[in-house]
Amino acid sequence: MLLSLQIENFALIDTLNLEFGRGLNVLTGETGAGKSIILDAIDAALGGKVSSRVIRTGTKRAMVEATFKLDQVLAAWLVEQEIDLIDDSSVVCSREMTTSGGSLRSRSRLNGVLVNRQLMAELRDRLVEITAQGQTVQVGQAAQVRDWLDLYGGLSHVQQREIVATAFADYQQAKASLEKRRQSERDRLQQLDLLTYQVQELKAANLGASDEVEQLEQERARLSHVVELQQLSYKVYQGLYQNDSDTPASADLLAQAESTLGDMVQYDSGLQPLLDLVSDALASIVEAGRRINIYGEELEADPQRLVEVEHRIRELKQICRKYGPTLFEAIAYYERIQAQLAELNGGEQSIEALEQQEQKYQQKLIKACNSLTELRQTAAAQLEARLVAELKPLAMEKVQFEVEIAPSVPTAAGADRTTFLFSPNPGEPLQPLTAIASGGEMSRFLLALKATFSQSEAAGTLVFDEIDVGVSGRVTQAIAEKLHQLSQRHQVLCVTHQPLVAAMADRHFRVDKQVIDQPSLFTPDSDVRTVVRVTTLDNFTTRREELATLAGGHSASDAIAFADSLLAQAENRRQGRG
């Protein structure tokens, strides 16, 4: 419940302190008197959207502060949000707005603690709900109608919507994964063709040792110089072991040295190590001569093998140019693309698995949406009966109302498109409410809708901004009684031009504009300013005069008599309902 409202330099209000009470609180005044400014201030205090125009001309700072009654549920929520309690009875919501260089800055506080807009929006939903004829747009929005229906359905709808939202998120993720995989399929096939060709080419190359090129080049050099190698090997053989000329071979010279050292060792055994070295050298020379002789005898010219070697070298060098630059790197690349090819060849199975996963989550989503639709159909039937019952006392005895639930594409909120269908007159077909309802009919519908929901909602503050515009006297009386009925469970704050509604008020405020002497920074040559003033009509006389003004535009005796009658009737109705 809204206990008090303090406003400073907000629009046309310089300073204002209001105290509200239980039951029906009514704001009256001429058109343009500033009644809506007070509602805008309440909205601003609870984090509503504001612009620099809300700051009173001539000032740079505006402030609004709304104090609400604290209950146990709200106290627990504040503790959960780590907001300290001022006391056990109230919570203070304030908003400071400043302007500098044409830009607006604002800060919201809750019990003096700076809070963000998201937290204030959550608190706003717990404290106040505003109903106005401007909600016609919302009534025509399928999403809003669906949300109202789920709100009426209660906890079971909330829980099922959470299940649907989770199923929708899972389905969207599976669908995105599949779509991404399908989008990459063309690239995969192109890559598959390329890698298949490369693997086949490298496989046909029959790659072996990474130094095969070096080995082949050595073999090619040997095959290209067979005759020269034969000649040179024979020359080496002669020099080492057996020389056809008169010059002794190395083996002959070493044999002579060995023989001489053998004679010397007989006289000096210390030369034995030297003799051993020469003997070993002679054995090595003999073995080298034998091997070079065998090498020379085995050398043969092989032109065909030379052609094969040269062809293989060219083939390997071509491979190196494409996949190397070295044969070692080409072999490593071959091994790598074999693994990539195996992975790409499994792509079809991957798509099939993703398709199955998408279908599984789609079926899960459809099942969850169907369950939510069943809940909505049940709630819709109950809402239809309840809303018609609320509309009948509002001079709509023959009204027909239906909540149409049509299938739609599944979303996180279900697979239903919900529309309010309406027929105020017998024999007329049901049509969308926003298409055929007049202003007065829409006013009564919104009021009945709020009355329907109020039974299941926690007590709070309901704000009605000129909900009674465009209706006749009999209907106005029905609206007044419905507002009073709502005020038995909720605090109701109502802006009205109707004396029938104002007469039912438990607390009545008159809003008007006054011109005062106060120069402005922006109009220094002028010494007058327009301000909004609010008067609490707390006695019979002042209320009677205001009702007379609303009824007849003046305080003539007939208007006063009418006002007396309204007050008496209102008192009788309140006592009857009490």
What angle in degrees, to the nearest 10, is found between the helix axes of 250-265 and 226-240?
A: 20
- Contact, 461 vs 486, CB < 8 A? no
Cβ count within 10 A of residue 499: 24
Q: What is the pLDDT of residue 362?
A: 94
Is beta strand 103-110 parallel, antiparallel or unpaired with respect to 24-28? unpaired
Q: Kindly tell me the burial class for residue 469, based on how many C-beta atoms sit within 10 Å of its own C-beta (0-12, 13-18, 19 or more).
A: middle
Most confident among 18-22, 526-530, 553-557, 567-571 (mean pLDDT): 18-22
Residue 223 lies in a domain: yes
> What's the DSSP call for residue 458?
P
The answer to whether 544 and 510 are in contact (CB under 8 A) is no
Residue, of 459 and 252, whose pLDDT is higher: 252
Share of the chain above pLDDT 70, in %: 93
CA distance 410 to 209: 61
Confidence band for 458, pLDDT divided at 50, 70 and 90: low
Q: Is residue 230 part of a domain?
A: yes
Sheet containing 113-115, strands listed edge to edge, beginning at the edge strand earlier in sequence: 13-19, 2-10, 61-69, 90-100, 103-110, 113-115
Residue 483 lies in a domain: no
Domain region containing 304? 211-325
Give me the phi and psi of 344, to 5 degrees please. Answer: -65, -35
pLDDT value of position 221:
84
Tell whether the model's pLDDT for residue 194 goes beyond 80.
yes
Please state, in angstroms and as integers, the Cα–Cα distance from residue 460 to each residue in 68, 275, 467, following that order: 10, 121, 18
Q: How many CA atoms lie within 13 A of 183 on its CB side?
A: 6
Is the pLDDT at 369 greater than 90, yes or no?
yes
- Cβ distance 18 to 5 under 8 Å? yes
Report yes or no on 165 lying in a domain. Answer: no
Answer for the pair 369, 410: CB distance below 8 angstroms, yes or no.
yes
Q: Which residues pair with 94 in a beta bridge?
A: 65, 109
Listed residue (309, 302, 307) closest to 226, CA to CA = 302
In a domain, 296, yes or no: yes
77-86, 451-460, 467-476: lowest mean pLDDT where?
Answer: 451-460
Which pLDDT value is given to residue 578? 44
Rounded average pLDDT over 531-544 = 87
Whether the per-residue pLDDT at 471 is higher than 80: the answer is: no
Q: Indicate the SS3 state at residue 259.
A: helix
In a domain, 47, yes or no: no
User: pLDDT band at residue 342, thresholds of 50, 70 and 90?
Assistant: confident
According to the model, what pLDDT value does residue 564 have? Answer: 75
Top-confidence residue, 246 or 319 = 319
| DSSP three-state, residue 35 | helix
Strand order of the sheet with strand 528-537? Answer: 128-132, 461-465, 491-495, 24-28, 507-517, 528-537
Query: What rounded mean pLDDT belongs to the chain?
Result: 85
Q: What is the CA radius of gyration of the chain?
A: 50
Residue 253 located in a structural domain: yes
What are the phi and psi torsion angles at 544 (to 5°)?
-60, -40
Does residue 238 fall inside a structural domain? yes
36: exposed, middle or buried (Cβ count in 10 Å: 0-12, 13-18, 19+) = middle
What is the tally of structural domains in the chain?
1
Element (H, E) at 452: helix 439-454
pLDDT value of residue 411: 93
